[in-house]
Amino acid sequence: MYQTVRKGDIFEIKIPEGWRHQTADSLLRTEWKLPKKLIHQWRMNQTVFVNGSPVNWHAPLAEGSVLQLPFFAAAEKGPVPYKRKVNILYEDDHLLVADKPADMKTHPNTENESDTLLNAVAYHLQESGESGFLRHVHRLDVGTSGVILFAKHHAAYAVLSRLLEEREIKRTYIAVVHGLITKNEGTINQPIGKDRHHPSRRRVSPSGQTALTHYKVLKRAVKQQLSLVQCQLDTGRTHQIRVHMASIGHPLAGDCLYGGKPITSHQALHAVSIEIPHPFTGEKLVCKAVPQEQIFRLLDKS
């Protein structure tokens, strides 16, 4: 773990032995790979310091020196707070992981919407005396519950988005699907594209984007003719698990859009955990959300 501390708008990090040959410029560009625009802004505003003095951008950083960065400087107005209690699984100065209920959108789709998880998290931060930048790093469909990662400043959003794209952030889902899957585990490697006959539906398509889903059967309920599966994604296509499971003849329970039966009010899909290599503390975070939907509990007891 790195030695770090927040002091007002400033993030301080003590340079570890492994970074002692880095310059401030190379650290921001190659270690964290921050956006060029953000680094340029800090350089022009002269808001980066080492041990309290303006940084020499191209001088090697000494082990034990303290790099000071304006991570938390007010940058913009945040989302409109919406008063609704949400389960916060983890939070620090840089990021937050929340457990999305199945009946809630991840973020607004119109200017007038505010009853979303993003707005509810903004209300949580407001109650803690925080405001300003807040952004979801990924999203879940309406009807899908579970873990969602939020960034609390621009640098965090940039790094976490990259880590997600590079598959360094791992997300695990569980789903209840129709039928008894015969294989204990497998991989579905089928491209996914838009369905030209339906505006919100996706389908397996040779001209679609590459999509890779790994699944493992956790339980088979013979009486109910349902299977509980764990899924991990190598890609993050819209409706990926829903499309892929339907493509092998096992649509999600409740997912009427893809052939599931309405035995529950929405698709039985839950993002159960997320693993995050924390870029600013060096920790490996693992956050888990217990599914609240009755269908998961009933299947587990069958």
User: Which CATH number do you get for residue 15?
Assistant: 3.10.290.10
Q: Is residue 77 part of a domain?
A: no
Instruction: Look at the block and give the residue holding tokens 């340079």.
Output: 15
Q: Is residue 302 part of a domain?
A: no
Is residue 141 part of the annotated active site? The answer reads: yes
DSSP 226: E
Range of the domain at 50: 4-69
* The pLDDT of residue 117 is above 70: yes
User: What pLDDT, in 10s, does the model give residues 284-294?
Assistant: 999 999 998 77
SS3 53: strand
Percentage of residues in the chain having pLDDT higher than 90: 88
User: What pLDDT, in 10s, does the model give residues 61-76?
Assistant: 999 999 999 999 876 7
Q: Is residue 24 part of a domain?
A: yes
User: What pLDDT, in 10s, does the model give residues 180-211?
Assistant: 999 999 999 999 999 988 889 999 999 999 99
Q: Which pLDDT does position 82 carry in this prediction? A: 96
Q: Which pLDDT does position 178 carry in this prediction? A: 97
Region 89-96: what's the mean pLDDT?
Answer: 98
Q: Which pLDDT does position 111 carry in this prediction? A: 85
Q: Is residue 86 part of a domain?
A: no
The last residue of a domain, from among 41, 69, 97: 69
Q: Is residue 122 part of a domain?
A: no
Whether the CA torsion 49, 126, 85, 151 is positive or negative: it is: negative
Region 146-152: what's the mean pLDDT?
Answer: 97
Confidence of residue 301 (pLDDT cuts 50, 70, 90): low
* The pLDDT of residue 302 is above 60: no
Q: Is residue 45 part of a domain?
A: yes
The last residue of a domain, from among 69, 92, 108: 69
Q: Which pLDDT does position 286 carry in this prediction? A: 98
CB count in 10 Å sphere of residue 162: 16
User: What pLDDT, in 10s, does the model give residues 218-246?
Assistant: 999 999 999 999 999 999 899 999 999 99
Please count the CA atoms within 13 angstroms of the CA of 32 that sit on its side-chain side.
Answer: 25
Q: How many domains, in total, are found in the chain?
A: 2
Q: Is residue 209 part of a domain?
A: yes
**What amino acid is encoded at 166 in this protein?**
E
Supply the pTM of this predicted model. 0.94
Tell me the C-alpha distance between 87 and 4, whole Å: 26
Catalytic residue among 25, 93, 103, 141: 141
Q: What is the domain-level CATH number for residue 230?
A: 3.30.2350.10
For residues 112 and 272, the model is more confident at: 272
* The pLDDT of residue 298 is above 70: no
CA distances to 47, 84, 252, 253, 270 from 227, rounded to whole Å, are 55, 33, 9, 10, 14
Both tokens of residue 29? Answer: 């560009």
147 burial type by CB count under 10 A (0-12 exposed, 13-18 middle, 19+ buried): buried
